[in-house]
């Protein structure tokens, strides 16, 4: 038997996820204009505490190493700590993503006392003006307060996670300084046109020149900066960024949403990428191992329109969520393809072909900012 | 500390080893390192190394051909650096 | 158990005989080099928060 090739094995899918994203609730006290899950209002079908614990037990049996909890705002749930403790007792690591509103001096101590807990504070600007334009008035101060509470409670290193937009690309050095000042780790990720991001994509996504800027910055300064490998489409610029350079959706990772639906990843909450539900016969394990969607994602990819391009090995054709929600074919260039192949296609794409997000739990009608949609 | 054929080794207590068709995944809950174990033989050796006095004994017990021993030493050295295994006493 | 792997690099060390007709070639065993472990960064894969 030969020594296995890592990428081949991962692309073919594992018997169980390594980790997965679990959006615990669609409820959120904020209304960020790019929210990938269009969160705001709790869904009445939200899994209750017992159902959540049951799924955690299933993940334990599968030996999923850890879960990435998000939402909405996961700390809004009254059983939030109960869920964390159940995960800890079942040897499932937890990383959770939060806007920080519900981190107080008191529960920062509680968080600091837990085993295997990683916290990711979301922010999208290094100052109030830039951040609050995306996340709402007061949200910058809230994030900083949360970070201060964690520092004062000696939580240890946490992560600061930023979605790169047209308005914060120039703030990368400042973000790094901010993270360093807290002994925190910086994480930057790619904006996708998912959820409310679909409405603000045109105004918010980095320009081609800014993509180059992000790439150059990561090459020069990205040693200790996480990216969730969300920028592998930029590898076509030259030397590959650190990372596995592959989409893990349905193969190594997936999403469980607040009502127990299982999707390929948190950026494709839409029927076309729904694999099943934890309520189905055989539970999560059966969905992971046997759903039609995941089995098809584990088939070798077709390069399609990218066949003749020498960059495909580096960029892998980019992100399926970005292509899907801009109406582009999945076997073709990414809308932000660095050689512009996506842009040319987009000029011909009509509005009627763009899929709507699968669900919308927003608390108010989202307004397109200055757009001409 | 380097691992040699004479080393007594053991899996770090915070490591979970999850078998896969190709070998296994090893995950360290303390330092968050994830290692892909690319052949069933290295998995078998890892699972048994604490029960033997030396790595060489373990390799012999698992009928690993001598010409492959160097690769195993390198593998376990790498795992020791990641704290997936540690040298006993 | 299989003792060779397609990805292995054989480094055969052969000592050829001198021009002395009595001596014969002595070959030390192939050393098979396999990369048996590979560390991966899970944050280095797209699909999670």
Q: Which residues of B touch C29 (CB under 8 A)?
A: 66-67
Which pairing describes strands B15-20 and B9-11: parallel, antiparallel, or unpaired?
Answer: unpaired
- Say yes or no: A161 contacts chain C, CB-CB below 8 A: yes
DSSP letter, residue B85: E
Alpha carbons A153 and A212: distance in angstroms, whole number: 39
C 2-41 → A contacts, CB under 8 A: 2, 5-8, 34-36, 38, 40-41
Task: With a cut of 50, say whether residue A370 has pLDDT above it.
Answer: no
Q: Which one of C2, C5, C44 has the shortest CB-CB distance to A244?
A: C44
Chain C interface test: which of B68, B70, B77 (most C C-beta within 10 Å): B68
Which pairing describes strands C32-33 and C26-28: parallel, antiparallel, or unpaired?
Answer: unpaired
Which residues lie below 8 Å from residue B31, measured CB to CB, with a gap of 6+?
B82, B83
Percent of all residues in chain A with a pLDDT value above 70, rounded to a whole number:
96
- Say yes or no: A229 contacts chain C, CB-CB below 8 A: yes
Chain B interface test: which of A7, A59, A63, A95 (most B C-beta within 10 Å): A63
Under a CB-based contact definition with an 8 Å cutoff, are residues B44 and B19 in contact?
no
CA distance C30 to chain B (A): 6
Query: Which pLDDT belongs to residue C29?
Result: 63
- Say yes or no: B17 contacts chain A, CB-CB below 8 A: no
CA distance A300 to chain B (A): 18
Question: Which region among A135-149, A184-198, A229-243, C23-37 has the lowest average model confidence (pLDDT)?
Answer: C23-37
Half-sphere exposure (Cβ direction) of A143: Cα atoms closer than 13 Å = 30
Q: Which two tokens stand for residue A320?
A: 């399926």
In chain C, the N- to C-terminal Cα span, in Å, equals: 41
Length of chain B: 89
Band (A205; pLDDT cuts 50, 70, 90): very high
Alpha carbons A51 and A83: distance in angstroms, whole number: 11
B19: closest chain A residue by CA: A15
Alpha carbons A70 and A161: distance in angstroms, whole number: 12
A 31-90 → B contacts, CB under 8 A: 63, 65
**Chain centroid to CA A267:** 7
Under a CB-based contact definition with an 8 Å cutoff, are residues C30 and C37 in contact?
no
Sign of CA dihedral B75, B78, B82, B83: positive
B28: closest chain C residue by CA: C39
**Chain centroid to CA A172:** 19
Alpha carbons A332 and A306: distance in angstroms, whole number: 6
Alpha carbons C10 and A27: distance in angstroms, whole number: 59
Which pairing describes strands A261-263 and A255-256: parallel, antiparallel, or unpaired?
Answer: antiparallel
Band (A251; pLDDT cuts 50, 70, 90): very high
For C22-39, give the secondary structure using H, E and C.
CCCCEEECCCEECCCEEE
Helices and strands in chain B: count of H runs, count of E runs: 3, 5
φ, ψ at C33 (rounded to 5°): -100, 120
Under a CB-based contact definition with an 8 Å cutoff, are residues B50 and B37 in contact?
no
Band (A242; pLDDT cuts 50, 70, 90): confident
- Say yes or no: A3 contacts chain B, CB-CB below 8 A: yes
In the block, tokens 């582009």 appear at A328
Beta strands in A226-352 (DSSP E): 255-256, 261-263, 274-277
DSSP letter, residue B30: T
Task: With a cut of 70, say whether residue C22 has pLDDT above it.
Answer: no
Which residues lie below 8 Å from residue B59, measured CB to CB, with a gap of 6+?
B5, B45, B69, B72
Q: Which residues of A touch C39 (CB under 8 A)?
A: none
Comparing CA positions, the residue from C37, C24, C33 lying closest to residue C3 is C33
Residue ranges in chain B assigned as alpha helix (H): 40-48, 55-61, 69-81
More confident site: A128 or C47? A128
Q: Which residues of B touch A9 (CB under 8 A)?
A: 20, 22, 36
Under a CB-based contact definition with an 8 Å cutoff, are residues C44 and C19 in contact?
no
Q: Which residues of A touch C40 (CB under 8 A)?
A: 6, 244
Q: Which two tokens stand for residue A118?
A: 């990683």
Band (C45; pLDDT cuts 50, 70, 90): confident
Query: Which pLDDT belongs to residue A298?
Result: 96
Coil vs helix vs strand at A11: helix
Task: With a cut of 60, say whether residue B84 has pLDDT above it.
Answer: yes
Q: Which two tokens stand for residue A291?
A: 């759903």
Q: Which residues of C touch A334 (CB under 8 A)?
A: none
Residues of B with CB under 8 A from a CB of C: 32-39, 41-42, 63-68, 70-72, 74-75, 78-79, 82
Q: Which two tokens stand for residue A255?
A: 């999403």
Q: What is the pTM of this model?
A: 0.90
Task: With a cut of 60, say whether residue C15 has pLDDT above it.
Answer: no
C3 and B65 in contact by Cβ < 8 A?
A: yes
Q: Which residues of A touch B40 (CB under 8 A)?
A: 1
Query: Which pLDDT belongs to residue C12?
Result: 36
List of chains touching C (3+ CB pairs within 8 A): A, B
B26: closest chain A residue by CA: A65
Coil vs helix vs strand at A329: coil
Q: Which residues of C touch B39 (CB under 8 A)?
A: 5, 34, 36
CA–CA distance from B6 to each of B53, B87, C37 (Å)? 8, 10, 20
Query: Which pLDDT belongs to residue A347?
Result: 83
Which residues lie below 8 Å from residue C38, measured CB to CB, with a gap of 6+?
A6, B35, B36, B38
Task: With a cut of 50, say whether residue A360 has pLDDT above it.
Answer: yes
Counting beta carbons within 10 angstroms of the beta carbon of residue A233, is it exposed (0 to 12), middle (13 to 18) or buried (19 or more)?
buried
Half-sphere exposure (Cβ direction) of A136: Cα atoms closer than 13 Å = 15
In the block, tokens 């959006």 appear at A23
B29 and A93 in contact by Cβ < 8 A?
A: yes
Half-sphere exposure (Cβ direction) of A199: Cα atoms closer than 13 Å = 19
């Amino acid at each position: 038997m030969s020594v296995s090739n890592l990428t081949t094995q991962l692309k073919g899918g594992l018997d169980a996820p390594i980790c997965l994203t679990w959006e615990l609730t669609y409820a959120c006290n904020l209304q960020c204009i790019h929210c990938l899950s269009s969160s705001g209002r709790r869904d009445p079908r939200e899994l209750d505490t017992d159902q959540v614990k049951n799924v955690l037990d299933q993940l334990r049996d599968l030996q999923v190493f850890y879960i990435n909890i998000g939402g909405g705002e996961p700390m809004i749930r009254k059983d939030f700590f109960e869920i964390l403790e159940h995960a800890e007792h079942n040897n499932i690591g937890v990383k959770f993503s939060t806007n920080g509103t519900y981190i107080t001096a008191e529960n920062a101590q509680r968080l600091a006392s837990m085993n295997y807990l990683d916290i990711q504070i979301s922010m999208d600007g290094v100052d109030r003006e830039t951040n609050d334009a995306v996340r709402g008035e007061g949200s910058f101060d809230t994030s900083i307060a949360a970070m201060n509470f964690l520092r004062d409670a000696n939580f240890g290193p946490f992560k600061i996670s930023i979605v790169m937009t047209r308005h914060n690309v120039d703030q990368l050095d400042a973000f790094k300084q901010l993270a360093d000042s807290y002994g925190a780790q910086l994480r930057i990720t790619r904006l996708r046109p998912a959820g409310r991001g679909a409405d603000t994509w045109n105004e918010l996504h980095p320009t081609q020149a800014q993509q180059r800027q992000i790439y150059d910055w990561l090459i020069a300064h990205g040693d200790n900066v996480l990216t969730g490998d969300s920028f592998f489409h930029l590898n076509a610029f030259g030397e590959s960024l650190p990372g596995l350079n592959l989409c893990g959706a349905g193969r190594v990772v997936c999403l469980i949403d607040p009502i127990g639906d299982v999707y390929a990843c948190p950026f494709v909450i839409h029927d076309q990428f729904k694999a099943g539900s934890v309520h189905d016969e055989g539970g999560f394990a059966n969905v992971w191992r046997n759903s039609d969607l995941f089995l098809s994602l584990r088939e070798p990819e077709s390069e399609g329109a990218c066949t003749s391009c020498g960059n495909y090995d580096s960029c892998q054709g980019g992100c399926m969520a970005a292509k899907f929600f801009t109406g582009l074919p999945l076997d073709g260039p990414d809308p932000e393809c660095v050689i512009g192949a996506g842009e040319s296609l987009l000029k011909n794409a009509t509005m009627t072909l763009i899929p709507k997000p699968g669900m919308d739990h927003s608390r108010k009608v989202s307004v397109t900012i200055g757009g001409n949609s | 500390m380097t691992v040699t054929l004479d080393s007594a080794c053991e899996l770090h207590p915070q490591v979970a080893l999850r078998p896969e068709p190709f070998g296994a995944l090893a995950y360290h809950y303390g330092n968050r390192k994830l290692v892909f174990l690319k052949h069933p033989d290295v998995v078998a050796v890892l699972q048994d190394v604490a029960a033997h006095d030396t790595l060489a004994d373990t390799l012999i017990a698992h009928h690993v051909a001598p010409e492959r021993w160097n690769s195993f030493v390198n593998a376990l050295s790498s795992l020791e650096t990641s704290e997936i295994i540690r040298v006993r006493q | 158990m299989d003792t060779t792997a397609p990805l292995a690099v054989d480094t055969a060390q052969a000592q050829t005989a001198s021009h002395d007709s009595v001596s014969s070639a002595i070959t030390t065993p192939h050393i098979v080099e396999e990369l048996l472990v590979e560390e991966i960064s899970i944050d280095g894969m797209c699909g999670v928060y």
